[in-house]
Structure 1
Amino acid sequence: MSEMKPSPVVLIGDVVASRAAGDRSALHRELERALARTNERVTAVEPLEVTVGDEFQGVYATLGAALDAALRTRLALRPTAETRYGLGRGDTTTLDADRGIKDGPGWWAARDAIVEVEELAGRAAFGHVHTAYRIAEGKDDPHGLALAVEAALDCQDHMVGSLSERSGRLLEGLLDGMTQRELAQAEDISPSAVSQRVRADGLAVLVRSAELLRELP
């Protein structure tokens, strides 16, 4: 007997403190570029798009793809602004395609997740936590996958939030498959300097973590 196909995963993201941005038009353009970059790299059921204000959302066939999209978008935007993400597994429907209005248990699970991230951000010890995952109410999680993913995300978020701007670019390049030599040329630094940052900042660990999470169904 074949296993049931998993429900899709909804991703809701928003820009942190966007109202305080000095140039909101420039920020919006950067957001659009970051979403386009992620959409080129991650296959989606419904690609990421801006919905209301500086909030954006997309739908993915697998949890791994949604997690990959969240990390890549955060890295692409991080030099300009920080972002937070709520991921929810469950069915979703589109009420208004033009305005990107969705409904359904998956969408509400993602909404609950991003609200929790926002609440955690108010506690200094969790300032780097920017991503949460929830399963829609009524969906089973017999092996505790959601808890394991949540633990991995907390650690990944803290490491990413602790990176310098340059190390963030290096991580983004590594995720795109660039070699350390290619990254050194792009950053105009020596290959040994790249290697030192990869080791000291745990970039190889972050890449391995992202690769493993990407395989989740």
Structure 2
Amino acid sequence: MDRVKPRTSCCVLIGDLVGSREVPDRAALHDALAVALSTVDAVRPSRDGLRVTVGDEFQGSYPTLGEALDVALRVRLLLWPDADVRVGVGRGTVTVLDPGRGIEDGPAWWAARAAVEAVEAAADRAPTRLLRTGLRTADGPEDRVAEPGLDTSGPGAAVNAALLCQDHLVGSLSDRSRRLLRGLMDTETTQADLAAAEGISASAVSQRVRADGIGAVLASHRLLRDLP
């Protein structure tokens, strides 16, 4: 019986650590990544488990684009300040080559690979040096997506524009402001809770949310995470 089975369109996420080769204790960093992935997968489960694959690369697949983008930001914030990640999201069809071992292939995977390579290349250009997340859409089941790149037209281009602005804001935040952003992504956490944890006043938290763009990142993220 043929084990190759097509799957309906989904969003595949491929990520890796930025500058991990320069980290003295790579084993500790790998452990931190595994914990972050497990923590996020418990909140936003992937189809087959968000997991480390080879080296410092991790992968997961999701029914919607919004779920994949939600995961990308959550993993990044959990690892900061010890590490940063870049993520490529590919949208398209997936073929299951080996259900027993969870081996997949197809345009969504190729698109995700093209996207993460494009995000890595963007770091070499001053205007996009803080970009960490990008989307590539496969046009059809036969789209091989051979070259690195992100969507530059249609709805995908609008998503990439939002991600560019969001990542620039996040990349410009101080360590404390990133902790506040991470805390406020949990809807049950209040600004008063964060103020107590940081040892500052609630008004100081509120000022940072407004002045540092934390509120804008949260608003952008809420819109992105609801995308189909």
| TM-score normalised over the length of structure 2 | 0.87
Q: Which residue of 2 aligns with 1:170?
A: 180
- The 3-state SS of whatever aligns with 1:85 is strand
Q: Which residue of 2 aligns with 1:149?
A: 159
Gaps of 5+ in 1: 1-5
Q: How far does the alpha carbon of each residue in 1:178-210 deviate from its partner, in whole angstroms, 9 at most, with x for none?
A: 110011112121111111110111111111111
Q: Which residue of 2 aligns with 1:180?
A: 191
Runs ≥4 residues deviating over 4 A: 94-101
- Distance in 2 (CA, whole Å) between partners of 1:126 and 1:100 is 35
1:20 correspondence with 2:29: no
Mapped contact 1:51–1:99 kept (Cα < 8 A)? no
Mapped contact 1:34–1:77 kept (Cα < 8 A)? yes
- The 3-state SS of whatever aligns with 1:76 is helix
- Distance in 2 (CA, whole Å) between partners of 1:131 and 1:203 is 18
- Distance in 1 (CA, whole Å) between partners of 2:196 and 2:100 is 43
- The 3-state SS of whatever aligns with 1:184 is helix
Mapped contact 2:93–2:106 kept (Cα < 8 A)? yes
- Distance in 1 (CA, whole Å) between partners of 2:31 and 2:204 is 32
Q: Which residue of 2 aligns with 1:74?
A: 76
- Distance in 2 (CA, whole Å) between partners of 1:119 and 1:12 is 15
- Distance in 1 (CA, whole Å) between partners of 2:169 and 2:103 is 33
State the number of aligned residues: 212
Q: How far does the alpha carbon of each residue in 1:47-94 deviate from its partner, in whole angstroms, 9 at most, with x for none?
A: 210000000000000000000000101111121111100000112234
- Distance in 1 (CA, whole Å) between partners of 2:23 and 2:98 is 29
Q: Which residue of 2 aligns with 1:42?
A: 44
Once the two structures are overlaid, the 10-residue window that deviates more, 184-193 or 90-99, is: 90-99
1:210 correspondence with 2:221: yes
Q: How far does the alpha carbon of each residue in 1:100-156 deviate from its partner, in whole angstroms, 9 at most, with x for none?
A: 6531100000000001011111112211001110111337x9x92101101000000
Mapped contact 1:109–1:137 kept (Cα < 8 A)? no
- Distance in 1 (CA, whole Å) between partners of 2:60 and 2:18 is 18
Q: Which residue of 2 aligns with 1:54?
A: 56
Once the two structures are overlaid, the 10-residue window that deviates more, 196-205 or 93-102, is: 93-102
Mapped contact 2:107–2:140 kept (Cα < 8 A)? no
Aligned equivalent of 2:128, options 118, 126, 129 = 126
Gaps of 5+ in 2: 1-7, 142-150
Mapped contact 1:49–1:57 kept (Cα < 8 A)? yes
